[in-house]
Amino acid sequence: MARLTAARRRALPTAKFALPGRRYPIDTRNRAANALVRAAQHATPAERSKIQRAVCRRFPDFPSCKR
């Protein structure tokens, strides 16, 4: 996975982030997985729920999205 430099992060469309304010990039599967892990550590329960939904919308076959 390529490093997400500041320039690349700025170039990402807002839709490729899980939360407003361009927080938690989910442009790749690896970054989506990282967003879920970081959310578990640092996000509020409401934010965790939003991140989970955003990841599942973007990657419906993601392991945590299967029921």
Residue-range definition of the domain harbouring residue 53: 12-65
4 occurs within a structural domain: no
The CA distances from residue 35 to 60, 63, in Å, are 15, 14
Residue-wise pLDDT for 15-33, tens only, equals 999 999 999 999 999 999 9
Residue-wise pLDDT for 33-60, tens only, equals 999 999 999 999 999 999 999 999 999 9
Burial of 33 (0-12, 13-18, 19+ CB in 10 A): middle
Return the structure tokens found at 32: 């989506």
39 occurs within a structural domain: yes
3 occurs within a structural domain: no
6 occurs within a structural domain: no
The CA distances from residue 49 to 1, 12, 25, in Å, are 26, 22, 15
What single-letter amino acid sits at 60? Answer: P
For the chain, what is the domain count? 1
44 occurs within a structural domain: yes
